[in-house]
Structure 1
Amino acid sequence: MLLDNPQPQDLQSEIAQLEARLHDMRAQLDASECPPASHAGEKTPWTMPSDIHKHDNICNTFRPSLVRSSSLHALLLLSDSALPLGSFAYSSGLESYLAHNKPLRSNPIASFHSFLKLSIASIASTSLPYVLAGYREPDTLETLDNDLDASTPCIVAQRASIAQGRALIGVWERAFRASFAGPGATDTGAEVAVTAMDDFSDALKSSFGEDNEYDLGPKGHFAPLWGVVCRATGLDLQQAAYIFVVNHAKAVLSAAVRSSVMGPYQAQNILASQTLQDTIMKRIEREWDTKVEQAGQVVPALDLWVGRHELLYSRIFNS
């Protein structure tokens, strides 16, 4: 329903909603042309690969729109471990935690499970609200970056966030922008996100050459940039939040493998477990409506572990 005396912002919002609905309806139309899937309780017999096409729950008609509507390509790119963000150079406090809790080495797996749960709770409470805010309001990117910098007291965590954020800007400019900033975007918010990324990148580059005694320019923190990039690439908000936390869990698990806490197969077992999925979903649901003004550390000890990382006699990670 059109508004009386609509403002330009209201019109843009309504157009975006209508375009999103049209996009979803087209995807549903394509999906309706495929045979319905079998019920969850029904068991289908095992068959040779050549007989797979005979099952009723397989759609043999290739539908490109089904892939595009879910932004599958961007989803896979942003969840790829090879994305050059330098995330695996950081243990998120795990290395310091292991060094300061030597008695727990008698049962390292149980100790790691406790740390991973605390680490996910910490990243969700401190950074996830900025991811969500960056996605919802990409034009406030510079303000969000400034607020996150001011609310992160741990200098080691600050450096890690800035390093990964600036790496993400580099990936966006050198790899993603040419493909995702084209005229075919169906979400007006994506266009706003692209503009926000361009403006922020220009402001960041300009601040490098300034003689700023107090270093008050933009920093390039990872969390709000992640939300804006996900909006620009066409992911939905749920996907952006879930991948952000999953990627953090992957980085911590990778650090655990390289710290000889566990082997790679055990790490993959944890990563694929329903327990980890439930933990991530509960944390996202908990922080879904949290405003950035209410974001804060719920695991104070984690800041201590991260902060004391620089005091370790020997270390293999940057945090």
Structure 2
Amino acid sequence: MDDDTQAYILLLLSDGNLPTGSFVASAGLESYIAHGFAASIPALDSTTNFIRDSLSSYARSALPFVHDAHEAVSRLGNWEILDDYLESTLNQLKALDELYENMTLNHVTRRASKTQGVALLTLYSRGFSKPLLSQYVTQTDPSMEEQRDAVMAKLVDCFKLEIRREETPGHLPVCWAVLTAALGLSKERTRFLHLFLHARSLLSASVRLNTIGPYAAQQLLSHAVRPLVQAEATKCRDLKTGILSPSDADFNDTVDGPAVTWPLGEILAARHDLQHSRIFNS
């Protein structure tokens, strides 16, 4: 896929109006504020500190799953042996999903992740499929593009069916990778955009919690968030889960695999439901 097409997909996926359910999640920020961790320092500093710590932990725990799920879906391109590859890819996605479920330490994060994950698959089926006015859409190679779209649509439908049958959880990092790989976005841009959207959702939650204003949030997004996202995307770009290559002798799950690096964030997120009043569901 050429750079212009990928840039356009980036614009579509970064649209704040996408129906992904992310606006109902604060990733523990509401609990962080309610427990008084933001009371002793200026609001901009406390918000930036939370974004930094949350990004660091989320990148280390989620990006290995994004990497492997994206790679598994990207391999699915041979129409002639679709059924064999489709079943193999679904099994890999389910294995990744199960591992992420087991590594997610609290029920609040699991709930939000599953809600947003299935929303992304629905977004692909209902928001990125070609409209009925397809005669107005210019295609460089209709047969090849239609073939790939059919393969990806079948994969997404099968994965959604597995989620509805409760045979797999459908967590956000795995479903995000399925969506972006199906759209043809590169792994590098997939990782960067995923972290950017995580940081942006935290700023959006901070505005709704009235800890900072919309202009301050935009300032942080423009100047403070970018180096944080770039640093984490670069640091975690080679991390994997080991599921796609279990026989790799060089893989060390302690160094190269997913991990939770901010225990305090997990504790605060787990205490979210104990608050007397709440705006967000996580």
Q: TM-score range, shorter-chain basis?
A: 0.7 to 0.9
Q: Which of residues 154, 158, 162 in structure 2 aligns to 1:203?
A: 162
Amino acid at match of 2:274: L
Deviations, residues 21-67 of structure 1 (Å, cap 9, x unaligned): xx66xxxxxxxxxxxxxxxxxxxxxxxxxxxxxxxxxxxxxxxxx63
Amino acid at match of 1:281: Q
> Residues of 1 paired with 2:117 and 2:38: CA distance?
35
**2:259 maps to 1:259:** no
Deviations, residues 120-170 of structure 1 (Å, cap 9, x unaligned): 111101111111111111222222111111111211000000000011111
> Residues of 2 paired with 1:298 and 1:310: CA distance?
22
Percent identity (aligned): 32
> Residues of 1 paired with 2:110 and 2:124: CA distance?
21
Aligned residue for 2:128, secondary structure, equals: helix
Q: Is the 8 A contact 2:26 2:201 kept in 1?
A: yes
Q: For residue 284 of structure 1, report the CA deviation from its aligned partner.
A: 1.1
> Residues of 2 paired with 1:67 and 1:204: CA distance?
33
Which of the pair has the greater relative contact order for Cα pairs under 8 Å at 6+ separation?
2
> Residues of 1 paired with 2:37 and 2:60: CA distance?
27
> Residues of 2 paired with 1:102 and 1:232: CA distance?
40
Q: For residue 253 of structure 1, report the CA deviation from its aligned partner.
A: 0.1
With over 3 angstroms needed to count, the CA separation of the structure-2 counterparts of 1:171 and 1:104, relative to structure 1, is same
Give the TM-score of the pair, scaled to structure 1: 0.70
Q: For residue 91 of structure 1, report the CA deviation from its aligned partner.
A: 0.7
**2:275 maps to 1:296:** no
Q: Which runs of 4+ in 1 moved over 6 A?
A: none
Q: CA RMSD in A?
A: 2.3
Q: For residue 313 of structure 1, report the CA deviation from its aligned partner.
A: 1.0
**Residue aligning to 2:81:** none
> Residues of 2 paired with 1:114 and 1:168: CA distance?
28
Q: Which of residues 130, 138, 145 in structure 2 aligns to 1:185?
A: 145
**2:241 maps to 1:281:** no
Deviations, residues 46-104 of structure 1 (Å, cap 9, x unaligned): xxxxxxxxxxxxxxxxxxxx633xx2322111111111111011111111001112572
Count of equivalent residues:
242
Q: For residue 177 of structure 1, report the CA deviation from its aligned partner.
A: 3.1
Amino acid at match of 1:131: V
Q: For residue 307 of structure 1, report the CA deviation from its aligned partner.
A: 0.4
**2:244 maps to 1:309:** no
Q: Is the 8 A contact 2:66 2:174 kept in 1?
A: yes
> Residues of 2 paired with 1:74 and 1:103: CA distance?
36
Q: Which of residues 115, 119, 141 in structure 2 aligns to 1:163?
A: 115
Amino acid at match of 1:165: G
**Residue aligning to 1:145:** 97
Q: For residue 185 of structure 1, report the CA deviation from its aligned partner.
A: 3.4
Give the TM-score of the pair, scaled to structure 2: 0.79
> Residues of 2 paired with 1:103 and 1:75: CA distance?
33
> Residues of 2 paired with 1:200 and 1:223: CA distance?
14
**2:63 maps to 1:111:** no
Amino acid at match of 2:266: D
**2:25 maps to 1:90:** yes
Q: For residue 110 of structure 1, report the CA deviation from its aligned partner.
A: 1.3
- Give 1:216-295 correspondences, 5 Å limit: 217-273=167-223, 275-292=224-241, 293=253, 294-295=257-258
> Residues of 1 paired with 2:71 and 2:38: CA distance?
45
Q: Is the 8 A contact 2:31 2:272 kept in 1?
A: yes
Extract unaligned runs of 5+ from structure 1: 1-22, 25-65, 209-216
> Residues of 2 paired with 1:178 and 1:105: CA distance?
51
With over 3 angstroms needed to count, the CA separation of the structure-2 counterparts of 1:158 and 1:101, relative to structure 1, is same
Of the two, which has the highest radius of gyration?
1
**Residue aligning to 1:67:** 4
> Residues of 2 paired with 1:148 and 1:280: CA distance?
22
> Residues of 2 paired with 1:81 and 1:109: CA distance?
22
Amino acid at match of 1:150: N
